[in-house]
Protein backbone atom coordinates (compact mmCIF):
# COMPACT_ATOMS: atom_id res chain seq x y z
CA UNK A 1 0.00 0.00 0.00
CA UNK A 2 1.48 3.41 -0.95
CA UNK A 3 1.43 6.57 1.14
CA UNK A 4 -1.71 8.74 0.92
CA UNK A 5 -0.42 12.29 1.28
CA UNK A 6 -2.47 14.42 -1.13
CA UNK A 7 -5.82 14.13 -2.89
CA UNK A 8 -4.18 14.22 -6.32
CA UNK A 9 -2.44 10.89 -5.60
CA UNK A 10 -5.65 8.96 -4.89
CA UNK A 11 -6.80 6.23 -7.31
CA UNK A 12 -10.32 7.65 -7.13
CA UNK A 13 -12.24 5.23 -9.36
CA UNK A 14 -10.74 2.18 -7.65
CA UNK A 15 -11.41 3.58 -4.17
CA UNK A 16 -15.04 4.41 -4.96
CA UNK A 17 -15.66 0.85 -6.14
CA UNK A 18 -13.83 -0.72 -3.20
CA UNK A 19 -15.58 1.51 -0.66
CA UNK A 20 -18.97 0.48 -1.97
CA UNK A 21 -17.93 -3.18 -2.00
CA UNK A 22 -16.96 -2.95 1.68
CA UNK A 23 -20.18 -1.10 2.52
CA UNK A 24 -22.18 -3.94 0.96
CA UNK A 25 -20.14 -6.60 2.77
CA UNK A 26 -20.44 -4.93 6.17
CA UNK A 27 -24.17 -4.41 5.77
CA UNK A 28 -24.58 -8.11 4.98
CA UNK A 29 -22.24 -9.24 7.77
CA UNK A 30 -21.20 -6.62 10.35
CA UNK A 31 -18.92 -9.09 12.15
CA UNK A 32 -15.31 -7.97 11.62
CA UNK A 33 -13.19 -10.41 9.61
CA UNK A 34 -10.65 -12.44 11.58
CA UNK A 35 -7.10 -11.54 10.60
CA UNK A 36 -4.52 -14.36 10.64
CA UNK A 37 -2.56 -12.35 13.20
CA UNK A 38 -3.01 -9.07 15.04
CA UNK A 39 -2.64 -6.19 12.60
CA UNK A 40 -1.90 -2.83 14.22
CA UNK A 41 -2.95 0.52 12.74
CA UNK A 42 -1.44 3.57 14.46
CA UNK A 43 -3.64 6.66 14.75
CA UNK A 44 -1.10 9.42 15.39
CA UNK A 45 -2.99 12.61 16.24
CA UNK A 46 -1.11 15.82 17.02
CA UNK A 47 -4.37 17.81 16.93
CA UNK A 48 -7.76 17.31 18.60
CA UNK A 49 -10.25 15.37 16.50
CA UNK A 50 -13.64 13.78 16.98
CA UNK A 51 -15.05 12.73 13.60
CA UNK A 52 -11.85 11.81 11.77
CA UNK A 53 -10.29 9.96 14.68
CA UNK A 54 -13.51 8.09 15.51
CA UNK A 55 -14.05 7.21 11.84
CA UNK A 56 -10.56 5.74 11.45
CA UNK A 57 -10.81 3.90 14.75
CA UNK A 58 -14.19 2.44 13.78
CA UNK A 59 -12.97 1.51 10.29
CA UNK A 60 -9.94 -0.27 11.77
CA UNK A 61 -12.13 -2.37 14.06
CA UNK A 62 -14.69 -3.17 11.34
CA UNK A 63 -11.89 -4.42 9.08
CA UNK A 64 -10.51 -6.64 11.84
CA UNK A 65 -7.50 -4.47 12.70
CA UNK A 66 -6.34 -3.17 16.09
CA UNK A 67 -6.08 0.64 16.34
CA UNK A 68 -3.33 2.15 18.47
CA UNK A 69 -4.36 5.71 19.34
CA UNK A 70 -1.44 8.04 20.12
CA UNK A 71 -2.02 11.70 20.96
CA UNK A 72 0.69 14.31 21.26
CA UNK A 73 -0.20 15.33 24.81
CA UNK A 74 -0.24 11.74 26.10
CA UNK A 75 2.93 10.46 24.43
CA UNK A 76 6.66 11.18 24.35
CA UNK A 77 5.91 14.01 21.92
CA UNK A 78 5.08 16.03 25.05
CA UNK A 79 8.65 15.35 26.23
CA UNK A 80 10.17 16.67 23.02
CA UNK A 81 10.36 13.53 20.88
CA UNK A 82 10.71 14.41 17.20
CA UNK A 83 8.23 13.40 14.53
CA UNK A 84 10.84 11.22 12.83
CA UNK A 85 11.63 9.36 16.06
CA UNK A 86 7.94 8.79 16.82
CA UNK A 87 7.34 7.39 13.34
CA UNK A 88 10.45 5.18 13.51
CA UNK A 89 9.30 3.80 16.88
CA UNK A 90 5.83 2.91 15.59
CA UNK A 91 7.28 1.25 12.50
CA UNK A 92 9.70 -0.75 14.66
CA UNK A 93 6.69 -1.99 16.64
CA UNK A 94 5.25 -3.43 13.45
CA UNK A 95 2.28 -1.20 12.67
CA UNK A 96 0.76 -1.88 9.26
CA UNK A 97 -0.04 1.79 8.61
CA UNK A 98 0.08 5.19 10.32
CA UNK A 99 -2.91 7.53 10.11
CA UNK A 100 -1.58 10.98 10.92
CA UNK A 101 -3.03 14.39 11.77
CA UNK A 102 -0.66 17.29 12.35
CA UNK A 103 -0.96 21.09 12.66
CA UNK A 104 2.01 21.67 10.34
CA UNK A 105 1.52 21.56 6.58
CA UNK A 106 3.87 19.00 5.06
CA UNK A 107 4.30 16.92 8.22
CA UNK A 108 2.98 13.70 6.60
CA UNK A 109 5.49 14.12 3.77
CA UNK A 110 8.25 14.46 6.38
CA UNK A 111 7.01 11.34 8.17
CA UNK A 112 6.94 9.41 4.90
CA UNK A 113 10.68 10.04 4.45
CA UNK A 114 11.51 7.70 7.36
CA UNK A 115 8.43 5.45 7.58
CA UNK A 116 8.54 1.81 6.54
CA UNK A 117 4.73 1.66 6.80
CA UNK A 118 2.31 3.71 4.69
CA UNK A 119 1.42 7.20 5.98
CA UNK A 120 -2.23 8.24 5.57
CA UNK A 121 -2.72 11.99 5.80
CA UNK A 122 -5.73 12.71 8.02
CA UNK A 123 -5.16 16.46 7.80
CA UNK A 124 -2.00 18.59 7.87
CA UNK A 125 -2.39 22.23 8.84
CA UNK A 126 -4.29 24.19 6.21
CA UNK A 127 -2.75 22.07 3.45
CA UNK A 128 -4.71 18.87 2.66
CA UNK A 129 -7.27 16.41 4.00
CA UNK A 130 -7.43 13.78 1.25
CA UNK A 131 -9.35 11.14 3.18
CA UNK A 132 -12.14 13.59 4.06
CA UNK A 133 -12.37 14.68 0.43
CA UNK A 134 -12.55 11.04 -0.66
CA UNK A 135 -15.42 10.43 1.76
CA UNK A 136 -17.24 13.53 0.49
CA UNK A 137 -16.80 12.36 -3.10
CA UNK A 138 -18.09 8.88 -2.23
CA UNK A 139 -21.20 10.47 -0.68
CA UNK A 140 -21.84 12.46 -3.87
CA UNK A 141 -21.16 9.42 -6.06
CA UNK A 142 -23.83 7.41 -4.26
CA UNK A 143 -26.23 10.38 -4.22
CA UNK A 144 -25.97 10.80 -8.00
CA UNK A 145 -26.61 7.13 -8.71
CA UNK A 146 -23.07 5.69 -8.76
CA UNK A 147 -22.14 6.58 -12.37
CA UNK A 148 -19.01 5.14 -13.96
CA UNK A 149 -16.30 6.48 -11.60
CA UNK A 150 -13.70 6.42 -14.36
CA UNK A 151 -15.58 9.20 -16.19
CA UNK A 152 -16.00 12.91 -15.41
CA UNK A 153 -19.30 12.05 -13.78
CA UNK A 154 -19.85 15.46 -12.13
CA UNK A 155 -19.77 17.33 -15.45
CA UNK A 156 -22.61 19.86 -15.49
CA UNK A 157 -22.87 19.90 -11.68
CA UNK A 158 -22.18 23.02 -9.62
CA UNK A 159 -20.63 22.62 -6.16
CA UNK A 160 -20.43 25.60 -3.79
CA UNK A 161 -18.01 25.58 -0.84
CA UNK A 162 -18.78 28.41 1.59
CA UNK A 163 -16.88 29.53 4.68
CA UNK A 164 -13.29 29.81 5.87
CA UNK A 165 -11.52 28.93 2.62
CA UNK A 166 -8.18 30.43 3.70
CA UNK A 167 -7.58 27.91 6.49
CA UNK A 168 -9.47 24.92 5.08
CA UNK A 169 -7.52 21.81 4.11
CA UNK A 170 -10.88 20.20 3.29
CA UNK A 171 -11.66 22.83 0.65
CA UNK A 172 -8.29 22.32 -1.06
CA UNK A 173 -8.58 18.53 -1.23
CA UNK A 174 -12.22 18.69 -2.29
CA UNK A 175 -11.36 21.15 -5.04
CA UNK A 176 -8.87 18.65 -6.46
CA UNK A 177 -11.23 15.67 -6.48
CA UNK A 178 -14.37 17.56 -7.51
CA UNK A 179 -12.75 19.22 -10.51
CA UNK A 180 -11.16 15.92 -11.55
CA UNK A 181 -14.69 14.50 -11.66
CA UNK A 182 -15.84 17.42 -13.83
CA UNK A 183 -17.65 19.65 -11.31
CA UNK A 184 -17.80 23.42 -11.52
CA UNK A 185 -16.56 24.47 -8.07
CA UNK A 186 -17.34 27.84 -6.49
CA UNK A 187 -15.39 28.96 -3.43
CA UNK A 188 -17.07 31.66 -1.34
CA UNK A 189 -15.72 33.60 1.65
CA UNK A 190 -15.25 37.17 2.84
CA UNK A 191 -12.09 38.77 1.41
CA UNK A 192 -10.08 38.18 4.60
CA UNK A 193 -10.87 34.45 4.54
CA UNK A 194 -9.86 33.85 0.93
CA UNK A 195 -6.37 32.40 0.39
CA UNK A 196 -3.57 34.65 -0.83
CA UNK A 197 -2.34 32.09 -3.37
CA UNK A 198 -4.60 31.41 -6.36
CA UNK A 199 -6.61 28.19 -6.39
CA UNK A 200 -6.75 26.83 -9.95
CA UNK A 201 -9.97 25.59 -11.55
CA UNK A 202 -12.24 27.38 -9.06
CA UNK A 203 -14.71 30.24 -9.32
CA UNK A 204 -14.05 32.70 -6.48
CA UNK A 205 -16.69 34.99 -5.02
CA UNK A 206 -17.52 36.93 -1.87
CA UNK A 207 -21.26 36.70 -2.62
CA UNK A 208 -22.88 33.70 -0.91
CA UNK A 209 -26.13 34.13 -2.85
CA UNK A 210 -24.24 33.90 -6.15
CA UNK A 211 -22.25 30.90 -4.93
CA UNK A 212 -25.27 28.81 -3.96
CA UNK A 213 -27.54 29.90 -6.83
CA UNK A 214 -28.46 26.82 -8.90
CA UNK A 215 -25.90 24.73 -7.00
CA UNK A 216 -26.35 20.96 -6.99
CA UNK A 217 -24.24 20.64 -3.83
CA UNK A 218 -23.42 23.11 -1.05
CA UNK A 219 -20.60 22.41 1.41
CA UNK A 220 -20.18 24.62 4.47
CA UNK A 221 -16.95 25.14 6.38
CA UNK A 222 -16.54 26.06 10.02
CA UNK A 223 -14.41 28.99 11.13
CA UNK A 224 -10.96 27.58 11.95
CA UNK A 225 -10.29 29.94 14.82
CA UNK A 226 -7.34 27.84 16.00
CA UNK A 227 -5.43 28.87 12.84
CA UNK A 228 -6.79 32.38 12.56
CA UNK A 229 -4.82 35.57 13.14
CA UNK A 230 -6.49 38.43 14.94
CA UNK A 231 -8.33 40.86 12.72
CA UNK A 232 -9.28 38.41 9.96
CA UNK A 233 -12.88 38.37 11.15
CA UNK A 234 -13.59 41.69 12.87
CA UNK A 235 -17.38 41.27 12.98
CA UNK A 236 -18.84 37.82 13.70
CA UNK A 237 -22.42 39.05 13.43
CA UNK A 238 -21.78 40.39 9.93
CA UNK A 239 -20.21 37.05 8.97
CA UNK A 240 -23.29 35.19 10.20
CA UNK A 241 -25.56 37.54 8.28
CA UNK A 242 -23.71 37.19 4.98
CA UNK A 243 -22.38 33.60 5.03
CA UNK A 244 -24.52 31.46 7.33
CA UNK A 245 -26.25 28.66 5.41
CA UNK A 246 -29.54 27.53 6.91
Q: What is the pLDDT of residues 130-178, one digit of tens each?
A: 999 999 999 999 999 999 999 999 999 999 999 999 999 999 999 999 9
Residue 231 pLDDT greater than 70, yes or no = no
Q: Please indicate, yes or no, if residue 130 is contained in any of the structural domains.
A: no
What are the residue numbers of the active site?
Answer: 51-52, 79, 101, 129
Query: Residue 147, exposed/middle/buried by CB under 10 A (0-12, 13-18, 19+)?
Result: middle
pLDDT of residue 33: 80
The pTM of the full predicted model, rounded to 2 decimals, is: 0.93
Residue 246 pLDDT greater than 90, yes or no = no
Residue 14 sits in the same domain as residue 95: yes
Q: Give the count of domains, the chain.
A: 2
State the residue range of the domain holding 45: 7-124
Q: Please indicate, yes or no, if residue 132 is contained in any of the structural domains.
A: no
Amino acid sequence: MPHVLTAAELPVAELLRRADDWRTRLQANPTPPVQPRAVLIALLFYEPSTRTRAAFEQASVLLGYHPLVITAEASSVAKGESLHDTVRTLCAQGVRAIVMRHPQAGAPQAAAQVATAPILNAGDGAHEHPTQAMLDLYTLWRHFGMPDPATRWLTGRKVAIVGDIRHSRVARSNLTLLTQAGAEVWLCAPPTLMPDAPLPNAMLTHDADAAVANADVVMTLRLQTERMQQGLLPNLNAYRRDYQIN
